[in-house]
Amino acid sequence: MTIHQRLKALVTELQNPRLLKNQGNGNEIGYYIFDYDVEHEPIVQQFILELQPKLALSQPPLNSIEINLYRVILKILEDRNLLQRAFDLEAKKGNTDLAKTIKPMVRPDKVVEKIQELVQGNEDLIFITGVGASWPIMRSHTILNNLHPVLDRTPVVMFFPGSYDGQELRLFDTFKDDNYYRAFSLIPRRSDKHEY
């Protein structure tokens, strides 16, 4: 299945009443992962731009919100007047030193708090994006674990540049995250590499 076929199937799946009622397997909280090859990032980003208006015009109309983790991190730094200093540090010392320095300020509880401010409570779907851009400052399994207690009524879909086999998140198909068992794979891929 190509990435385009998977994205087309995703639109249909996001309108599935079972998913919208937030009923995962065994009636668990509906957390979902749409994984994809990192080279498909531009295709997925363009798809997400078109997705929300498409869902708003569907029958029934669906209200959705995109939460970009990278933008959330930038907003936390900006609110603390640390954004320019973070950019300067990254330019001088690189990503690794930047991540070590700002991790204490961009803790998972602070990210979740900011996400809660963005969510209005009337959404049918919540999309989490910016996972790759926010690494290594924020790990995907950490944010999902911390979101579970506070976003438990609305289905959450994380767009993940890497692979998810139902247990293991592997960012960019390279960096192994801790095991994560609570999310369901949306439109599992067989082989969509280099198929456009």
Consecutive 10-residue averages of pLDDT for the chain (196 residues): 94 92 66 94 95 93 95 93 88 82 88 92 93 86 86 90 86 71 82 42
69-79 vs 83-93: helix crossing angle, rounded to 10: 110
User: Is the previous residue joined to 149 through a cis bond, with omega within 30 degrees of 0?
Assistant: no
Q: What is the pLDDT of residue 27?
A: 56
Q: Is 106:47 a contact under the CB 8 Å cutoff?
A: no
Q: What is the pLDDT of residue 181?
A: 66
Q: What is the pLDDT of residue 182?
A: 78
Q: What is the pLDDT of residue 193?
A: 46
Q: What is the pLDDT of residue 26?
A: 58
- What does the alpha-carbon distance between residue 56 and residue 77 come to, in Å, rounded to a whole number? 32
Q: How many helices (H) and strands (E) does the chain have?
A: 8, 7
| C-beta neighbour count of 103 within 10 angstroms | 13
